[in-house]
Amino acid sequence: MVTNTISVSETPQVLYALRRADDALILGHRLSECCGHAPTLEEDMALANIGLDLIGQARALYALAALREPSLEDGRANTEDTYAYLRDVGQYRNLLLCELPNGDFGRIIMRQFLYSAFIDPYWRAMMKSSDAQLAAIAEKAEKETAYHLRYTSEWVIRLGDGTPKSHDRMQAALEFLWSYTGEMFDTDEAEAMLQAEGMIIDASAIHDGWRTTVQTILDRATLTLPQSAWMQKGGRSGRHSEHLGFLLAEMQQLPRSEPGAVW
Amino acid sequence: MYTQALNDLPTPHNLEDAEKMANFQTRIDSEDRIEANDWMPEAYRRTLVRQISQHAHSEIIGQLPEGAWITRAPSLRRKAALLAKVQDECGHGLYLYAAAETLNASREALMDQLMEGKAKYSSIFNYPTMTWADIGAIGWLVDGAAIMNQIPLCRCSYGPYARAMIRVCKEESFHQRQGFEIMMTLAKGSARQKAMAQDALNRWWWPSLMMFGPPDTDSQHSDQSTRWKIKRFSNDELRQKFVDATVPQAQFLGLTLPDPDLRQDEVTGNWMYGEIDWEEFKQVIAGNGPCNQDRLASRRKAHEEGAWVREAAAAYAARQASRHAA
């Protein structure tokens, strides 16, 4: 296979946009894997819809990264597609949570719920960003994630409080995913700079509200919040699970096999 | 997406009341729409259930060959468009099962027939999508053929089906343009991309022509559907329209149709095509196409793996209902 991996000049603004874009793309990609295979036609459409929203958000954020990235030495500029298709695993900046394999419908729903309960208030707060473009992206994304949160909350309740079997599956999904939730609230020096400028908010400020939302829905779903406090991390700095490489191998195969081609 | 004229024999209606039958035919002849609560001959109902359910099955089975490329679409724009397209197909399946429900056929029962291998769906989806160009070829040819079949169904005598088809056709024309645009991009691309497009055309052309069903000479059962204005044109008429529309498009793309006998009739202007391999068609319909087993296995797997979800949703809903009642 021809390798034509790009290099990226990760200024704080570019890094920030790529992290959020990668979350959305990788999670959207995972949801797109379900298309045609969901438990009912209605859920097939709903998961595709959420996937489409996330891929759309990723595209807006990659476009922003491309605008903010200093041009390369040869004058070329990166695009949404070079970011998506021509970066290697270690260059991806998404949360580990987003790259985990789907598992059953219960785990898909639980992963989406845990993420949506974070990202919806996150985008709502980001609508006040001092950066007009980020504020506009946040405003559009929040309308979508509000629905994702409502949809997944309803399913968490329905399945948690459904049958003994569905309850056990949802509790197992929650236990499996729990240690991947901490990374959502992490922040680092690059982000601290942008926070100081009022461009982005501090993700850790979302934590208490997120925890309340999660607890409320889990109570209604008769599910129990896991006790484990240990949290996995690494995605934000390019240290991923084994799963992302397989996802990218599948996703990137065609453009990498024909460098420079237009599709 | 894709109705296919399979020409099953309608059930004889010798027990129907003659006067009701005459009135029914008068309504049909005057282009009146038949609605769900209207009296209708049992054979009319069964013919519609069979046709609408085959159409619905084709939509959801049709999600699979194209769905196979969503995760491998070569740009984010293509990925979003393909995901949206396959989602549309699911939506078409949903409308069509709902249209069948107006005729007292439940979605569950129809899907069971599909998974038990008792129901038919369009033969075209039993061919594999080997390369990205297949996504272009399916949009261009398969959706193109489907539109030819389905535009007349917007005037079908059964109201709920006709109305569902109006929306379906709007989305299908969009899909067809998308498919053609993929083919155009490949045809203008590198030598390897152009070869990919030609290879896809070679593989999808004949199965697309088969989508219109057996030739009129072998098709003895469509008379009744025509009298009932479920069917407006014969299989060969629609096939000819499709070929006439598609040949100039292939020429525009600079691709060659895989038919050495293709020639334009000087008098009619129609494009005359070579012999269709009807034995292949029969084999695919009979379950021996390259992907029949895979398609049904995927459908069954999704259904079985989703059983606990459907059971839980039903249990939750029942409990909520009893809580409200209490």
| Closest residue, chain B, to A81 (C-alpha) | B75
In a domain, B96, yes or no: yes
Write out chain A residues lying below 8 Å of B83, CB-based: 32, 35, 48, 51-52, 55
Q: Cα(A207)–Cα(B171) distance, rounded to whole angstroms?
A: 42
CB contact under 8 A, B60 and A36: yes
Q: What is the pLDDT of residues B48-101, one digit of tens each?
A: 999 999 999 999 999 999 999 999 999 999 999 999 999 999 999 999 999 999
Q: Cα(B11)–Cα(B45) distance, rounded to whole angstroms?
A: 10
The tally of domains found in chain B comes to 1
| Closest residue, chain A, to B136 (C-alpha) | A263
Taking a C-beta distance cutoff of 8 angstroms, is the pair B89, B70 a contact? no
> For residue B28, what are the domain limits?
18-325
The number of residues in chain A equals 263
In a domain, B2, yes or no: no
In a domain, B224, yes or no: yes
**B262 Cβ neighbours under 8 A, 6+ residues apart:** B247, B271, B272, B273, B274
Q: What is the pLDDT of residues B222-267, one digit of tens each?
A: 788 999 999 999 999 999 999 999 999 999 999 999 999 999 999 9
Q: What is the pLDDT of residues A80-101, one digit of tens each?
A: 999 999 999 999 999 999 999 9
The model's confidence at residue A76, banded by pLDDT at 50, 70 and 90, is confident
Q: Cα(B33)–Cα(A132) distance, rounded to whole angstroms?
A: 54
Q: What is the mean pLDDT of residues A112-127?
A: 98
Domain boundaries, chain A: 12-257
Q: What is the ipTM of this complex?
A: 0.97
Residue B189 contacts A, CB cutoff 8 Å: yes
Nearest C-alpha neighbor of B86 from the set B127, B31, B135, B37: B135
Taking a C-beta distance cutoff of 8 angstroms, is the pair B74, B136 a contact? no
CB contact under 8 A, A166 and B71: no
Taking a C-beta distance cutoff of 8 angstroms, is the pair A99, A251 a contact? no
Nearest to A36 among B80, B86, B309 (CB): B86
The model's confidence at residue B4, banded by pLDDT at 50, 70 and 90, is low
pLDDT of residue A216: 98
| Closest residue, chain A, to B57 (C-alpha) | A41
Residue B207 contacts A, CB cutoff 8 Å: no
CB contact under 8 A, B306 and A38: yes
Taking a C-beta distance cutoff of 8 angstroms, is the pair A115, A210 a contact? no
pLDDT of residue A173: 98
pLDDT of residue B8: 47
pLDDT surpassing 80 at residue A2? no
pLDDT surpassing 70 at residue B12? no
**B71 Cβ neighbours under 8 A, 6+ residues apart:** A29, A32, A33, A250, A251
Specify whether the backbone of B213 is left (phi greater than 0), alpha (psi in -120 to 50) or beta.
left
A238 to chain B, minimum CA–CA distance in Å?
21
- What are the backbone angles phi and psi of residue B34, rounded to the nearest 5°? -90, 130
Taking a C-beta distance cutoff of 8 angstroms, is the pair B54, B35 a contact? no
The model's confidence at residue A194, banded by pLDDT at 50, 70 and 90, is very high
Q: Cα(A57)–Cα(A27) distance, rounded to whole angstroms?
A: 11
pLDDT of residue B7: 43
CB contact under 8 A, A81 and B76: yes
The four Cα atoms B201, B203, B209, B210 give a dihedral, to 10 degrees, of -160
Which domain CATH number covers B213? 1.20.1260.10
Write out chain B residues lying below 8 Å of A39, CB-based: 302, 305-307, 309-310
CATH superfamily of A12-257: Ferritin, core subunit, four-helix bundle (1.20.1260.10)
- Average pLDDT value over all residues in chain B: 93
Taking a C-beta distance cutoff of 8 angstroms, is the pair B281, B239 a contact? no
Residue A163 contacts B, CB cutoff 8 Å: yes
Taking a C-beta distance cutoff of 8 angstroms, is the pair B139, B182 a contact? yes
Write out chain B residues lying below 8 Å of A41, CB-based: 60, 90, 93-94, 97
The model's confidence at residue A120, banded by pLDDT at 50, 70 and 90, is very high
Structure tokens at B215: 């030739």
Which residue has better confidence, B14 or B123?
B123
| Closest residue, chain A, to B73 (C-alpha) | A251
Q: What is the pLDDT of residues A226-246, one digit of tens each?
A: 998 899 999 999 999 999 999
Taking a C-beta distance cutoff of 8 angstroms, is the pair A234, A93 a contact? no
**B131 Cβ neighbours under 8 A, 6+ residues apart:** B196, B199, B200
In a domain, B43, yes or no: yes
Q: What is the mean pLDDT of residues B107-120?
A: 95
Q: What is the pLDDT of residues B153-193, one digit of tens each?
A: 999 999 999 999 999 999 999 999 999 999 999 999 999 99
Q: What is the mean pLDDT of residues B126-146?
A: 98
pLDDT of residue A71: 83
Q: What percent of chain A has pLDDT over 70?
A: 99
pLDDT surpassing 70 at residue A31? yes
Q: How many C-beta neighbours within 10 Å does residue A188 have?
A: 12
User: What would the DSSP string read from start to end of chain A?
Assistant: -----------HHHHHHHHHHHHHHHHHHHHHTTTT-SSSHHHHHHHHHHHHHHHHHHHHHHHHHHHHSPPPTTS----HHHHHHS--GGG----HHHHS---SHHHHHHHHHHHHHHHHHHHHHHTT-SSHHHHHHHHHHHHHHHHHHHHHHHHHHHHHTS-HHHHHHHHHHHHHHHTTSGGGG---HHHHHHHHTTSS--GGGGHHHHHHHHHHHHHHTT------------GGGT---SHHHHHHHHHHHHHHHSTT---
| Closest residue, chain A, to B305 (C-alpha) | A39
Write out chain A residues lying below 8 Å of B315, CB-based: 162-163, 166
Which residue has better confidence, A203 or B15?
A203
Question: For chain B, where are the E strands, in sequence order?
Answer: 263-264, 271-272
Q: What is the mean pLDDT of residues A44-60?
A: 98
Q: What percent of chain B has pLDDT over 90?
A: 90
The model's confidence at residue B221, banded by pLDDT at 50, 70 and 90, is low
Q: What is the mean pLDDT of residues B286-312?
A: 96
Write out chain A residues lying below 8 Å of B93, CB-based: 41
The model's confidence at residue B10, banded by pLDDT at 50, 70 and 90, is very low
In a domain, B99, yes or no: yes
Question: For A36-97, where are the E strands, in sequence order?
Answer: none
In a domain, B7, yes or no: no
Structure tokens at B179: 């498919």
pLDDT surpassing 70 at residue B210? yes
- For residue B107, give the amino acid letter: R
Q: Cα(A184)–Cα(A205) distance, rounded to whole angstroms?
A: 11
- Average pLDDT value over all residues in chain A: 96
pLDDT surpassing 80 at residue A72? no
Q: Cα(A152)–Cα(B94) distance, rounded to whole angstroms?
A: 21
Nearest to A263 among B185, B301, B316 (CB): B185
User: What would the DSSP string read from start to end of B183-211?
Assistant: HHHHHTS-HHHHHHHHHHHHHHHHHHHHT
